[in-house]
Amino acid sequence: MKYYLLIPFLPLAAFMINILLGKEVLRDKAHWPSILAVVGSWLVTITSVLPQVMAGKIINEDLYTWIVSGTFNVSVGFLIDPLTAVMLVVVTTCASLIHIYAVGYMHGDTGYYRFFAYMSLFTFCMLMLVMGNNFLQLYFGWEGVGLCSYFLIGYYFDKKSAADAGKKAFIVNRFGDFGFGIGVFMIFLTFGTLHYTPVFGNVAGIAGQTVNFLGWNVDLPTLIALLLFCGAVGKSAQVPLHVWLPDAMEGPTPVSALIHAATMVTAGVFLVARCSPIFNLSEVAMNTVAIIGAITMFFAATIAITQNDIKRIIAYSTCSHLGYMFLACGVGAYGAGIFHLYTHAFFKALLFLAAGSVIHAVHTNDIREMGGLKKYLPITYAVFVIAGLSAGGFPGLSGFFSKDEIIWSAYASHSSVGKFVWVLAVAGAFFTPLYTFRLIFLTFHGKHRGAHHGEQGGHHGEHHIHESPKVMTIPLMLLAVGAVAAGWVGIPPILGGGAHFTEFLAPSVGHPEFHGTHAEELGVMALSTGIALFGLGLAAFLYLRKTDLPEKIAKTFSAVYNVLYNKYFIDELYNFTIVRPTVWIAKNVLVAVTDAKIIEGIVNGVPGAIGRFSGKLRRVQTGLAQHYGIMMAAGAVFIIALVLLLR
Amino acid sequence: MEQVIMNQLSYPILSTVIFLPVLGAVLILLSRRSWEPSAKWIALGTSIATFFLSLPLFLNFDKSTHKMQFAERFSWIPEWNINYFLGVDGISVLFILLSTLTAILCVLISWESIKMKVKEFYISILLTTAFMIGVFCSLDFFLFYLFWEAMLIPMFLIIGVWGGPNRIYAAIKFFLYTLVGSVLMLVGIIVLYLYAGRTFDILELMTKNYPYTMQMWLFWAFFAAFAVKVPMWPVHTWLPDAHTEAPTAGSVILAAVLIKMGAYGFLRFSLPLFPEAAKAMTPVMLVLSVIGIIYGAVICLGQTDLKRLIAYSSVSHMGFVTLGIFALNSQGLEGGILQMLNHGIVTGALFLSVGIVYDRTHTRQIADYGGLASVMPVYAAFFMVFTLSAIGLPATNGFVGEFLILLGAFAANKLIGVLACTGIIIGAAYMLWLYQRVFFLEINNKIAGLPDMNVRETITLLPMLILVIWIGVYPNAFLSFMHASVQHLLDRVNSGGMQEASIAKTLMEVVR
Amino acid sequence: MVPLSWYMVLGAVVFAIGVFGFLSRKNIIIVFMSIELMLNAVNINLISMSHYIQDLRGQILAFFVIAVAAAEAAIGLAIVIALFRNKATAHVDEVKEMQG
């Protein structure tokens, strides 16, 4: 029995039900089909698929033939191997909890059914993405999740900023997909198929081959890998296509948690891990992945320190953690990258949902208007701290194990690029707790700074702030368990664990060979942990003790601060170099000149010229009968003369 | 060897679908003017009957052969060896179905919006449909040219009589533009007739080989007719005017069927009749197509008029079609044919949708809209699906067509393929921006309180929606019609199947 | 017996006078009369030829010409009267509504 088919198609069914019946029939019960479907998917994953995969069985079956043309033939099919299984667990678990949370968060919203319909559609697309057994189905899911992301970011579509953000996310992703699409074409031209098994089976044959691409002779594996990586950069919000993710926070918070933290944005990492046989053939591509990842990680972390929007801070944190994952893939430690993907899904979803709980209570995103919320939101505060510690790599929690494995892999890869990214990774380990705890201290500690409450008269206003309902806090607590314990499946041998996680993944993504002594490994671990604790301490010092110091620092280094606060002016750069010129050309060159003047000039000019010529010619027609008579007579004489002369 | 499979059905199906609308038009003509709805009902009944009578083309089609099927042949003017000769193959059959379906939708969408000269309007619609179907199934050049030109007359009237404020200019421009191209084709047809020993039989003409120089001249003569119809850059400027000024039904017919005839002409005539010339001219055609794709897409960013924007997007989408056709491999060709169908469905549906709001607001300015998703949610959902198809999202028909075309183009020439891909980025930009300006943001006062779609309008859009998803999810239902015919066409063009085989060969070499 | 050539010369002379009158005179009535002259010149030729080759068909044709001339004169004079009523002139120079 193909039970696994239920996993993607249950959410699809929920989507259909909600889109057809949600508005008129289900109304405020619209969450039921979606929740039942996603929990059903989760149950099938846990009870049926996961045990099979753990027993070493790999499912690879075609459902039906999708497109056939000439030698091109691609199916809708499913591949479930360890990598897919991990993704299934991550997606269905997070999606289930977030769906339940959303019942409370979205309560009373006018578009309630619409929200759950999109969420189900998203879950379907994400599951198709990870379960596909060929590149085209991957692309299907890829675009599908992008679409749902567009819908959900622009969920409050009457707000211009939300509508703009959705559009921006879609179009920026299209830039990445442009490369991805060409990569898929190159794969077809090279291998004659798009199915994973034959492609990866024949991949050794293309090692070292060069191909002429747009006039350059390039290494074939490098070309394919980098083109695919373009798509990953867009989807996973890496530099230089990261600009859409912070804006995507315009969407409702459960969306940010599900799509922009736990699942969709990690699709890029999944892609790189899935295509590891191709990436492994190209050192250039691997180094690019590592360096892009490291740069994004560092760059996003520095921005996060200066932001004031609670969700944007977490969004930059997501960018940064995704950078870690790419960094791991780039040094060949795909297992570590996916491990971090897995733990990150829990603690980042938790951070977002907890932030959502805060927003739900105070109705603002600006941390400058929060403060002192600890006593009103005890559960939220507790889980926020757990998530923060896990994200910051506090020993013993999920995030610690995965981050440590990445940092160790970078160190132990023993290449110059590996060393470079290792330095950045350690620096990033300093920033992560710094910005996370800056956020926590500013939100929960100190005095409440909410302006609107103050006007209503101090304490009186603050009493309106209350903890979220159980339907929201229970998913928070469950996720908190994950943020603490999810990483325990991958405890490294040096700490007495079995590194089960990477062993489990080895059939899909291989096993990196790193060499290093135990002493080195412990040293690296101690260094990054120490640095993380230092970051935490600094945050406590700056935002609990000397609360006036951050402002002074910002004033002293105002140039640096402004660059960071304005996100390195990347948005402005794109706006002035790409967006505006294109629209300007469309309006002022193509519409006004090329079409209106040149082409229409010719089109209307030819009849015009004919008109002018005939205007001259018509003067022959005087309207006087006698002139015509003379013409006739002259013509007759001429013809007769001609006949006589030529005879 | 017999070239065609004669019609085996109990009725002459092709003649029926051509002449039933003509009969309907005559009935409307004879109906009493005092009761005007009679015209609508007769038109609706005729178009529905035509559609159902055309269904056996879909159900009984033999997909295993490239030969012409459902053929009918009678001697017409024996002195000049002119025959009444009809037949369809995998390239043309789907367009006949598209035409018959479009006719129903055009009648439905005009139900309330046409209030003046009602009888004449539906007569024009029915005649246009009849002539369009005739174009797609004629196998005699004389008959083909007759339908090709005859179709201009009712279309000219539809634009010129029931159109917008600037309709006269648009109608005359449309007429002259297409006529200039057609006349050159007429010269080409006569040359073929005389050269091949006085025959107009298209199938017979296809079996002959023509000298290279002659092929070249004739290719350009036919190119003039087809490129204008497609429309390829730079002879596209009639399209925005005609689309914008035409009434909704006129725009739909133009978009869904009429401009397909150009691309159909390339497939049916230019490639098999002049294979060497077509191959030699491939680079020119590919470059023109890519310019059309990018130019059409970028220019959409500068539009302020809903219909004009969709019209320019047609230039871009039809650029994909010609790109696929002149990629000259099976992916490109089949993608091109499918994309013709897709474009007919999606752009037709977009014009239908615009017509629905235009009937309520009487404005086409994008700036007059905003927040429509809150006012007309069902309508917004339909429009969203069509938008997604237009930007080629997987699981919609647009994706399958564009993907195959780009794959084919990329296999033919990497640079062309890459450049064409940029059209997809810009495509997403202009369509989403359009959607945002019309449907999102705060509700514009001018459109507040509009009623959502009624049953008639929903029924009009529903077939298109179903087709969008159907082709997107299971394109083989449609692609399978084309395989045999496209393969035959490729064999003819490559005379020995060089290119297809060489691609496969290089693939295998690369893998090894 | 008058030789055929005399008739032909007479016909040519009458025709030439008709042409000259048609082209040079301003008064529309005289232009009309010139046209009649041309027609009658043709008649002379037809009849003389008919007699010369002993074929009656030429004379029959002359009757047709006369009939057409009569009809033409009737319609033509009617047009002249209508014109005179509208324009109060009978000069061909002043009638140029058909100017291009």
Nearest to C96 among A624, A630, A633 (CB): A624
pLDDT score at B439 = 86
What residues are paired with A216 via a beta bridge?
A213
Q: CA triplet A146, A150, A154: central angle to 5 degrees?
A: 165
Domain that holds residue B318: 281-481
Contact across the interface for A626 and C23, Cβ inside 8 Å: yes
**Integer-rounded Cα radius of gyration of chain C:** 17
Nearest to B393 among A143, A171, A175 (CB): A143
- Chain A CB within 8 Å of residue C5 CB: no
Average pLDDT, chain B: 86
- B230/chain A closest Cα distance in angstroms: 16
Contact across the interface for A626 and C99, Cβ inside 8 Å: no
Full DSSP string of B311-379: HHHHHHHHHHHHHHHHH-SHHHHHHHHHHHHHHHHHHHHHHHHHHHHHHHH---BGGG---HHHH-HHH
Nearest to A67 among B404, B406, B422 (CB): B404
pLDDT for B455 beyond 90:
no
Average pLDDT, chain C: 89
- A633/chain B closest Cα distance in angstroms: 36
Mean local confidence (pLDDT), A123-131:
92
In a domain, B64, yes or no: no
**Closest Cα to residue B320, out of B283, B272, B288?**
B288
C-chain CB neighbours of A625 within 8 Å are 31, 92, 95
Touching subunits for chain C (3+ Cβ pairs under 8 A): A
Residue A133, classed as helix, strand or coil, is coil
In a domain, B183, yes or no: no
Q: CA triplet A297, A299, A304: central angle to 5 degrees?
A: 95
Residue with the two structure tokens 């199938």: B203
What residues are paired with B86 via a beta bridge?
B72, B138
In a domain, B141, yes or no: no
pLDDT for C39 beyond 90:
yes
pLDDT-above-70 percentage for chain A: 98
pLDDT score at C40 = 93
pLDDT score at A463 = 56
C-alpha to C-alpha distance for A467 and A474, rounded to whole angstroms? 12
Task: Give me B161's structure tokens.
Answer: 């009589």
Contact across the interface for C31 and A622, Cβ inside 8 Å: no
Complex-level ipTM: 0.84
Distance of CA C60 to the CA centre of its chain: 18
Contact across the interface for A629 and C23, Cβ inside 8 Å: yes
In a domain, B32, yes or no: no
Q: What are the pLDDT digits (tens) for A162-194?
A: 888 888 888 888 888 888 988 998 898 888 888
C-alpha to C-alpha distance for B469 and B467, rounded to whole angstroms? 5
pLDDT score at A38 = 92
Full DSSP string of A393-410: T-TTSHHHHHHHHHHHHH
pLDDT score at B320 = 92
- Return the number of CB contacts < 8 Å for A and B: 167
Q: What are the pLDDT digits (tens) for A518-535?
A: 888 888 888 888 888 888
pLDDT for B46 beyond 80:
yes
Tell the burial category of B449 from Cβ atoms under 10 Å away from its Cβ (0-12, 13-18, 19+). exposed
Q: Which residue of B has its CA nearest to A599?
A: B234
pLDDT for A461 beyond 80:
no
Touching subunits for chain B (3+ Cβ pairs under 8 A): A
Residues A148/A125, Cβ–Cβ less than 8 Å? yes
Mean local confidence (pLDDT), A131-137:
90
Q: Where are the domains of chain C?
A: 26-88
pLDDT for A90 beyond 50:
yes
- Chain A CB within 8 Å of residue C93 CB: yes
Question: Which residues, 6+ apart, have CB-to-CB distance to A238 below 8 Å?
Answer: A232, A268, A292, A293, A296, A319, A322, A323, A326
Length of chain B as a residue count: 512
Q: What are the pLDDT digits (tens) for B162-215?
A: 888 888 888 888 888 888 888 889 998 988 888 888 888 888 888 888 888 888
pLDDT for B504 beyond 80:
no
Nearest to A603 among B237, B404, B407 (CB): B237
Question: Which residues, 6+ apart, have CB-to-CB distance to A251 below 8 Å?
Answer: A152, A153, A154, A155, A162, A165, A166, A259, A260
In a domain, B418, yes or no: yes
Q: Which residue of A has its CA nearest to B423?
A: A178
A466-470: Cβ within 8 A, 24+ apart: A466/A361, A466/A376, A467/A357, A467/A361, A467/A376, A467/A377, A467/A378, A467/A379, A467/A380, A468/A104, A468/A105, A468/A357, A468/A360, A468/A361, A468/A377, A468/A379, A468/A380, A469/A104, A470/A104
pLDDT score at A167 = 84
pLDDT score at B506 = 53
C15 pLDDT band (50/70/90 cuts)?
A: very high
Into how many domains does chain B fold? 1
Task: Give me A398's structure tokens.
Answer: 């999920």
Handedness of CA B138, B141, B143, B149 (dihedral sign): positive
pLDDT for A5 beyond 80:
yes
pLDDT for A477 beyond 60:
yes
Residue with the two structure tokens 């229409």: A600
Peptide bond into A433 cis (omega under 30): no
**Closest Cα to residue B414, out of A564, C86, A224, A240?**
A224
C-alpha to C-alpha distance for A464 and A357, rounded to whole angstroms? 14
Q: Which residue of C has its CA nearest to A624?
A: C96
Q: Indicate the pTM of the whole model.
A: 0.84
A639 pLDDT band (50/70/90 cuts)?
A: very high
A332 pLDDT band (50/70/90 cuts)?
A: confident
- A579/chain C closest Cα distance in angstroms: 55
C-alpha to C-alpha distance for C77 and A527, rounded to whole angstroms? 122
Average pLDDT, chain A: 85
Lowest mean pLDDT among A347-351, A373-377, A560-564, A592-596: A592-596
Q: What are the pLDDT digits (tens) for B405-443?
A: 999 998 888 888 888 888 888 888 888 888 888 888 888
Lowest mean pLDDT among A451-465, A470-484, B1-15, B411-425: A451-465
**Closest Cα to residue A171, out of A589, A586, A578, A581?**
A578
What amino acid occupies position A309? Answer: D
